[in-house]
Structure formats: structure tokens, C-alpha cells
Amino acid sequence: MTQSPITAIILAAGKSTRMKSSLPKALHTIAGRPMLGHVLTSASGLGDAQFVLVVGPSMDPVVAYARSLVPALSVAIQENQRGTGDAVKASLPHVKSKAGVALIIFGDTPLVRTETLAEMTAACSTETPVVVLGFEAENPAQYGRLILDANDALQRIVEQKDANTDERRVTLCNGGAMAIRVEHLASLLGALRDANKAGEFYLTDVVEHARAGGLACAVVRAPEADIQGVNSRADLAAVEAEMQRRLRRRAMEQGVTLSDPDTIYLSADTIIGQDVTIGQNVVIGPGVEIASGVTIKPFCHIEGGKIAQGAQIGPFARIRPGSDIGRDAHIGNFVETKKATIEEGAKINHLSYIGDARVGARANIGAGTITCNYDGFNKHFTDIGAGAFIGSNSSLVAPVKIGDGAYTGSGSVITKDVAPDALAVERSKQFEKPGWAAAFRARHTGHKKAGE
Ligand code: UD1
Ligand code: MG
């Protein structure tokens, strides 16, 4: 019995009509990563395998995404979407190996685990050349049913549409993935017919044909949570919820405190160090790396950024792509950073936009400071030196440089570079008209004092 070589055939050519989307189903995201990415990642965990991706015509974005993860992947085009069996047939000319296991995986089953796929390939032997992934479904309505014979061996699979009343009562369902010995693949697929309710070539009929040819078929079971398929937006939400449960559990196992796990959303690629605390209602998008000892206070949105050890973020902060928050830096409420390096110990505590900028070590950015980085055509850089003190409500019109240790006066619109350790103030002189307010009030109300 040999397990290798493995050919992973990934089906993603379906029209995905039930999604009602112009985006191919495989590119809809779960935890910030396209569904297909989850499937490819799980299959890559099997080690050396040849990957064949089956797509429909004009699915270039799907191919480009898949190649970004698995550059050596072969692509098969299924011209007409005539069913899962027809899709695997389209892959045949690309299958390089003449022996071993063909592992067929659906692009719409993103929660499937590497361990389950490994169990299937291990069970797929010359004695048992067909292995089907099965699960007990709480609501089996959208799945094919696994029909067992008197010896509890897999006899055939019947789709919901074609099932009779008794068969519909079966709760053991087809999870989609199937392992078939390569030497039997072409003949089993060749036997498929489209005489069913959908008028499609069902991959699932392989089981009946295998049994008729005297080949044994087995079932590897997995929990429903791992193999629920995505056919609709409601399924997408259900699978997202399950993925979030997994990611939260993993983060907590790695030493992260989640104040209220159900309200914290992570991405599949989120990296979080030990002793990080994340408060309630935080959303972490793709491309985020959080070092140890960081505190993320409630209601923050973070994507595409790095946060160094000991930094404090939020509450109500928005960290956008290209943000690099240094050690022990403080980013407070209603602060937005984008493409900005905030160096060690710098503080931006209230109501600011810092984009296309560097904030030097230990600089203090006053409330309401805005880097005016965009002129409608180009983005310009603001460079704030170490230890600088930016007065509240300063507008820094980029490109502009504030020297180390310099001050800007509150309310200034800074358009010229400020020398190190200087004070720049840009505001009109204050003047006062004594008694003006009282006279004004008297004209309107007849009273001199306010509130009379
Ligand atoms: C399929 C199974 C069903 C199983 C369920 C598990 C068949 C006939 N039915 O049903 O038994 O319980 O998955 O989730 O296999 N695809 C193609 N080309 C096609 C049709 C589909 O590449 O012509 C791809 C789709 O892109 C998708 C996968 O195959 O990734 C499954 O297709 P889908 O239409 O979702 O099948 P289900 O109805 O979910
Ligand atoms: Mg499906």
C-alpha cells in the first residue's frame, strides 16, 4: 500500500448561481482569505502533491490568485459546467502521475482540515480505491446522502434531488472530497452518465460504478463543522462564524486574552504574540502582525499593519495598511493611521489622521492633528522628528518636515519645514472688543447679562 504520489484536483468551475454574485465563488473570502486559499493551504499541508485546478472559461482572477499561492499549479478549463464528474474529467489530461491517489477537493469547502485529507489519502489503497468524506449533517437538505449496504459499506451516493423519501431521511452526507486511485480514475469517470434530475455528470456516481466493478469504497468521517459547504451567502456567513471560532480558540491557546471572543474578528493570516489583550468589538483584517504585550482597546479596526511590543491602540482607533506602530507607542481614540511609521514611544492620543508620514520617537501629536497628504493627484510625505511636539489642531501640509524637538503652535497650518527645536506658529493675532458681547445681547434681548 502506497500513499504517494498525490494529485490534488480542486474543483472551482461551478457557476455558483446560488451565490448571486459577479465574483467567482472561490474568491469570496472567509476570515479575509479567499475560500480557494483555505482549500489550497489545507491541501498543501499534505506535502508534495501535484495541484490541478479546474476552473470555467474566463476565470482568470481565480487562476491568478491560485498561482500566487501555488506557482506550479496546473490549470484545467471545464468549458461547460456539466457537473462535478465532468469537472474531474476535464482535469485528466493534466494529471501527470499514472499511479497513487487523486484527491478531489471542492473549492467551496474551506474548513476542511489537512488531517482529514491525510486520513483520506492514507485510507485510499489498492484494496480500497475509493474513499469518500462523510459527515452527519444536522440539516442534510443541500447534501448528497451516503447509502450504506447491509455490511455498513458505502454502496452509492444519492443527491437530494434524486433521493426518495427514505433516502432523504439519511443524515450521513457527502462532504465533497473524494480520494480515488489514479489507475481507476479514467474508467470510473468514463462510466458516468447524466441521467438524473440535474442532467449533470455527478462525481458521486463514481461510488456505484466502483462497487459494480468490484472495487471497495470507504467513508472517512469528519465533524460537520469542518466540512460544511458554501453554496449561498447564508452558508458563507455560517462558515465565517465557524472559522472565527477556530481562530479565536487558537489565539487564546497561544496566550492572547480576548475580552469577549464572540465580538472579536480575526483574519486567517493574523499573527499575534503572547500576552496581547484584545478588547471587545475589534476587527482585525488581513496582513496584521501584533507583537507581544500589545493592548488593543475596544472598538478598533486594524488591517495591513504591524504593531510592536507594548504598544497601546484605541479605543476607537483605525490602523490602515502600511502602518508600522513602534514599541510602546500610543494610538488613542478616533486616530487613523495609514502608511505611517510611528516610532518608539510616540503618542497620538486623540482625533488625528496620520497618513504617508513618519512620527519620530517620543514625539507627541496633539488632538486634532491632520497630515494633509493628498492634493487630489499625489500623496505627499510628512516627516515629524523625534521628540517633536505638534500642537492641537495643527494641519501639516505635506510635503513638510518638522525637525527633531520642534514645536508647532495649536491651530497652525504648517506649510513650510520647521527647524529642529524651533517653534512655528501660524495663526492670526487675537484681538478683543471690550463689552461687545453685552452690547450685542442687550440689542437683542434688552438684558446685558447672559441668561437673563
Ligand atoms: C456537491 C455534491 C454533494 C455534496 C456537496 C458537499 C455532487 C454531484 N454533489 O453538491 O453530494 O454533499 O457537494 O458540499 O458532487 N463544480 C465544477 N464544475 C461543475 C460543477 C461544480 O467545477 O460543473 C465545482 C464547484 O465550483 C464547487 C464544487 O464543484 O467547488 C461542488 O459543486 P456544487 O455545485 O457546489 O455542488 P453541491 O450542489 O454543493
Ligand atoms: Mg457546494
Q: Is the pLDDT assigned to residue 3 strictly greater than 70?
A: no
Confidence of residue 449 (pLDDT cuts 50, 70, 90): confident
Mean pLDDT of 56-81: 97
User: Which ligand has the shortest distance to the CA of 204?
Assistant: 1
Confidence of residue 1 (pLDDT cuts 50, 70, 90): very low
Last residue of a domain, one of 227, 254, 282: 227
Mean pLDDT of 183-193: 97
CB distance 237 to 28 below 8 Å: no
In a domain, 445, yes or no: no
Q: Which residues contact 407 (CB under 8 A, 6 or more apart)?
A: 388, 389, 390, 391, 422, 423, 424
User: pLDDT: is 113 or 2 the higher one?
Assistant: 113
Residues 216 and 276 in one domain: no
Last residue of a domain, one of 169, 200, 227: 227
Confidence of residue 451 (pLDDT cuts 50, 70, 90): confident
Residues 210 and 256 in one domain: no
Residues 341 and 202 in one domain: no
In a domain, 235, yes or no: no
- What Cα–Cα distance (Å) separates residue 255 from each residue in 275, 292, 315? 6, 9, 21
- Residue 286, pLDDT score: 98
CB burial class (10 A; 0-12, 13-18, 19+) of residue 138?
exposed
The tally of CA atoms less than 13 A away on the side-chain side of residue 425 is 7
In a domain, 446, yes or no: no
Sign of the torsion angle spanned by Cα atoms 253, 255, 257, 258:
negative
Q: Which residues contact 248 (CB under 8 A, 6 or more apart)?
A: 258, 261, 262, 264, 266
Residues 196 and 263 in one domain: no
In a domain, 96, yes or no: yes
Q: Is the pLDDT assigned to residue 24 strictly greater than 60?
A: yes
Q: Kindly report the pTM of this predicted structure.
A: 0.92
**Best of 106, 136, 167, 201 to mutate for ligand 1, by most ligand atoms within 8 A of CB?**
106
Residues 110 and 214 in one domain: yes
Pocket of ligand 1 (CB under 6 A): 11-14, 54, 78, 81-84, 86-87, 106-109, 143-144, 157, 159, 173-176, 202-204, 229, 231
Report the percent of the chain where pLDDT is more than 90. 96
Which ligand 1 atom is nearest residue 55's CA? 22
Q: Which residues contact 365 (CB under 8 A, 6 or more apart)?
A: 346, 347, 348, 349, 352, 354, 359, 384, 390
Which CATH number fits the domain that encloses residue 333? Answer: 2.160.10.10
Q: Is the pLDDT assigned to residue 260 strictly greater than 60?
A: yes
Residues 41 and 179 in one domain: yes
Nearest CA owner, ligand 1 atom 12: 143
Q: What are phi and psi of 250, to 5 degrees?
A: -60, -45
Which domain covers residue 275, as residue numbers?
A: 246-424
In a domain, 434, yes or no: no
Mean pLDDT of the chain: 96
| Count: domains in the chain | 2
Last residue of a domain, one of 171, 199, 227: 227
- Residue 263, pLDDT score: 98
In a domain, 173, yes or no: yes
Confidence of residue 4 (pLDDT cuts 50, 70, 90): low
User: pLDDT: is 447 or 220 the higher one?
Assistant: 220
Mean pLDDT of 115-121: 98
Confidence of residue 15 (pLDDT cuts 50, 70, 90): confident
Residues 189 and 279 in one domain: no
Residues 317 and 370 in one domain: yes
Q: Which of 38, 209, 330, 350 is catalytic?
A: 350
- Residue 101, pLDDT score: 97
Confidence of residue 239 (pLDDT cuts 50, 70, 90): very high
Q: Is the pLDDT assigned to residue 376 strictly greater than 50?
A: yes
Mean pLDDT of 386-411: 98
In a domain, 11, yes or no: yes
Which CATH number fits the domain that encloses residue 68? Answer: 3.90.550.10
Residues 275 and 350 in one domain: yes
Write out pLDDT tens, residues 336-346. 999 999 999 99
Residues 310 and 255 in one domain: yes
In a domain, 238, yes or no: no
Write out pLDDT tens, residues 147-174. 999 999 999 999 999 999 999 999 999 9
Which ligand 1 atom is nearest residue 227's CA? 14
User: Which residue has cell 492641537?
Assistant: 392
444 a catalytic residue: no
How far is it, in rounded angstroms, from Cα 405 to Cα 422?
8
- Residue 2, pLDDT score: 46
**Best of 11, 21, 84, 189 to mutate for ligand 1, by most ligand atoms within 8 A of CB?**
84
Residues 274 and 382 in one domain: yes
Residues 222 and 256 in one domain: no
Amino acid at 297: K
